[in-house]
Amino acid sequence: MGIFVTKVKSDRGVTEIKHGAAVIAIGTDVYQPAEYLYGENDRVMTQLELEEQINKGDEKVIKAECLVMIQCVGCRNEERNYCSRICCSESVKNALKLKEINPGMDIYILFRDMRTYGFSEDYYREAAEKDVKFIRYEPQDQPQVEAVNEDGKSILRVTATEYVLGNKLEIDADIIALAAATIPSAGSKEVAQLFKVLWARMVSSRRPMSN
Ligand code: SF4
């Protein structure tokens, strides 16, 4: 337990608060994927971008026949060996929203583990009941994405190995949504210096779950 004094400036003047601990919420940024044709094909987007397009009513998204979500993009690997904790719930939320708007849409979620804990577990079950298909992949055998042209139609072809039977699956998607890792916000180093906190410690405290 430390002994801190924080001065808060407001319209009423400066107030001094003595406290034993301080929590510095650094916020997060979203990892910009270098995988799965992100940045090369405008039909590959992050879950956050997908949510924006759903809210805007983008017809390319809400009228898609087939949408594939790929989980754990840019994390739970050697470079970032933590779980971002929120993206499984975000994916399920977006899948349910899309099913509500367009019940006939085929939605596949390619995952390593679905970490929809707490109340989010109910949404996971609801998504499965609404025929969202969950397909597990292994970290050493990640899905592959390629852009192909068939009969004048541009398709995003996803290949993955089905974990239980070991069969190769091929899914032709209109849209791909990536559950991109959360990373420490750009300003976190500066904030760490201001508060004299070790930045590495701030960042490593983002590992509340096992890889
Ligand atoms: S919440 Fe964890 S397990 Fe789920 S996609 Fe994000 S990093 Fe992967």
Write out pLDDT tens, residues 33-53: 999 999 999 999 999 999 999
Q: Where are the domains of the chain?
A: 4-26+185-204, 30-183
pLDDT at 203: 58
Q: How many C-alpha atoms does 32 have within 13 Å on its Cβ side?
A: 4
Return the CATH architecture of domain 30-183. 3-Layer(bba) Sandwich (3.50)
Query: Nearest residue CA, atom 8 of ligand 1?
Result: 72
Beta-strand ranges (E) seen in 36-141 are 44-46, 66-73, 106-111, 133-136
Average pLDDT of 131-136?
Answer: 97
For residue 54, what are the contacts with CB-CB under 8 A and spacing of at least 6? 61, 62, 94, 97, 98, 101
Residue 199 has pLDDT above 90, yes or no: no
Residue 205 has pLDDT above 60, yes or no: no
Which residue ranges have their beta carbon within 6 Å of ligand 1? Answer: 71-72, 75-76, 83-85, 87-88, 112-113, 115, 179
Query: Nearest residue CA, atom 2 of ligand 1?
Result: 83
Beta-strand ranges (E) seen in 87-132 are 106-111
Mean pLDDT, the chain, integer: 91
Query: Nearest residue CA, atom 1 of ligand 1?
Result: 85
Residues of the chain with pLDDT > 70, as a percent, come to 93
Residues of the chain with pLDDT > 90, as a percent, come to 73
Between CA 147 and CA 202 the distance in angstroms is 39
Contact status, residue 145 vs residue 44, Cβ threshold 8 Å: yes
Our measurement of the distance from residue 207's CA atom to the centroid of its chain's CA atoms, rounded to an integer in Å, reads: 16
Query: Nearest residue CA, atom 6 of ligand 1?
Result: 87
Confidence of residue 208 (pLDDT cuts 50, 70, 90): very low
pLDDT at 47: 98
Between CA 47 and CA 129 the distance in angstroms is 21
Residue 168 has pLDDT above 90, yes or no: yes
pLDDT at 119: 87
From 68, 75, 80, 207, the mutation candidate for ligand 1 (largest count of ligand atoms within 8 A of CB) is: 75
Between CA 70 and CA 177 the distance in angstroms is 6
pLDDT at 91: 98
